[in-house]
Structure 1
Amino acid sequence: MEKRKPGSGGDCAISVMAKAPRPGHSKTRLCPPLHPQEAASLSAAFLRDTTENLRVAAETIAIARYAAYAPLGTEAGLAPHLAADTPLILADGSGAPAPGVEGFGRCLLDATMGPFARGHTSACVLSSDTPNLPTSYLVSAARLLAAGDSQRVVLGACDDGGYYLLGMNAPHAGLFADIAWSTETVAEATRARARSLGLDMIELPSWYDIDDAAALDRLLRDERGYAAPFTRRAIAALDLAALLQGERAA
């Protein structure tokens, strides 16, 4: 069988929302207890594990892997933290506007429309804040989309009210309209938008993203899901278990 080239059309595309890790700009809600450099190191590990997890999922079902990034000009700082053969898609919100789509929604829209323009039959956006997401959830997203028509939408909600994955079989910009981003209402508002558009939404099991100290502590104690080896190594190198227990020296 001929090996599928990264980014080839005709399959499910999953784009990880990615930014080059930078101290003072990455995982700032983890500071404190982390220092900015530590937060950036952890962000880099999350990116690597998320894109590696996608690579593993693509061994089971046809998935085209992308990193949807911003801003333009940061490609060199991002590439070392991605799994091999992960193409980049610019998702800085500069694409064609859509009614009611603002802020981060425009970046998500770019990350969705880019794969459709490349000929993919379905497109998903994926958070980089779930490094231990079970690989089977990614496989299920691709399978559910393959089994549906143009009205099929797949949502993977997070415990905090956001979502880790949103996928669709046709461009539905309205799913990103009138959403209060970075709030606990994102997933529910997206469900409501899907209902108003007459879409067939199927939900994956919920998971949790790592965006504060409590979630980081949960990750340290949780052995479920993808092994996340880069994240586990970063946790050990930074001695985060001791930090969260208040035992690490300042």
Structure 2
Amino acid sequence: MLKLPKSSKQHLIIFTRYPEPGKTKTRLIPALGTLGAANLQREMTEYTIFQVRELQKVTAISVEVRFAGGDLQLMQDWLGLGLVYQPQGEGDLGSRMARSLFDAFESGAEKVMIIGTDCPGVNAQILATAFEQLQAFELVLGPAIDGGYYLIGLRQPIPELFVNIEWGTAQVFQKTVEIAHLLNLSPVYLPTLADVDRPEDLPIWEQTLEGEMRS
């Protein structure tokens, strides 16, 4: 069972994949090759972790990495020993997210968010805003331009939000909102951001890096 620090009521779960060439960022392989696509996955995950570390400087949150591919040793060698790692486990994305939320609340968290590593616009400020919104709202969603979402935050496990959804399609966000309304939940929305999944998305990542160099 996941062990959270007693003081940590805010918990952030990062979903990522070990950057093994040929098995990650596959839609970018035609543009970058297997190694280039894996390197992008590596860089984007490290960028996300950096933003989370920035948030931890000002806000008390515990952090957990849920990984697919690789193993615990490979993840620790890559991202260090200072993080909690858990395999995502079996099932579709919805069941894996629902399980990670359930585990976090079972472990004593009161506000839990899940993010991926595909959206470079997810910075410390966005994350801080999301946790603030969870004070007043039961559900926080960060819509992605492609019709999915880059962040979901809850104050209790609501498994219904993760079933009967075709993950990876342009209807994920809208379907989630519809389910929320059926459950009488009042979602609050973060700014709409862009994922980096396809060759035409690569300028988004390049602009992020340029912005980091200037700052």
Same fold (TM over 0.5): yes
Cα deviation for residue 190 of structure 1 reads 0.6
Is there any run of 5+ residues in structure 1 with no aligned partner, and where?
Answer: 1-5, 94-101, 230-250
Instruction: Give 1:8's aligned residue.
Output: 5
Moved more, 167-176 or 81-90: 81-90
Cα deviation for residue 80 of structure 1 reads 3.4
Cα deviation for residue 59 of structure 1 reads 1.8
Q: Is the 8 A contact 2:11 2:113 kept in 1?
A: yes
User: 1:188, 1:83 → 2: CA distance?
Assistant: 36
- Seq. identity, %: 26
Q: How does 1:96-111 map to 2 (within 5 A)?
A: 103-111=92-100
Q: Does 1:44 align with 2:33?
A: no
Instruction: Give 2:187's aligned residue.
Output: 201
User: 1:50, 1:81 → 2: CA distance?
Assistant: 14
- Map Cα deviations across residues 134-154 of structure 1 (whole Å, 9 max, x no partner): 321100111111334xxx100
Question: Normalised by the size of structure 2, how large is the TM-score?
Answer: 0.89
User: 2:179, 2:60 → 1: CA distance?
Assistant: 28
Is there any run of 5+ residues in structure 2 with no aligned partner, and where?
Answer: none
Considering only aligned residues, what root-mean-square deviation do their CA atoms show, in Å? 2.1
Relative to 1, partners in 2 of residues 1:81 and 1:130: Cα closer, same or farther, differing over 3 Å? farther
What is the SS of the residue equivalent to 2:197? coil
Instruction: Give 1:139's aligned residue.
Output: 128
Instruction: Give 2:65's aligned residue.
Output: 67
What is the SS of the residue equivalent to 1:154? strand
Q: Is the 8 A contact 1:63 1:142 kept in 2?
A: no
Instruction: Give 1:82's aligned residue.
Output: 79
Task: State which of 132, 151, 168 in structure 1 corresponds to 2:154.
Answer: 168
Question: Normalised by the size of structure 1, how large is the TM-score?
Answer: 0.77
Q: Is the 8 A contact 1:14 1:125 kept in 2?
A: yes
- The letter for the 2-side match of 1:61 is T
Runs of at least 4 residues off by over 6 Å: none
User: 1:114, 1:83 → 2: CA distance?
Assistant: 22
Cα deviation for residue 83 of structure 1 reads 6.1
User: 2:108, 2:167 → 1: CA distance?
Assistant: 28
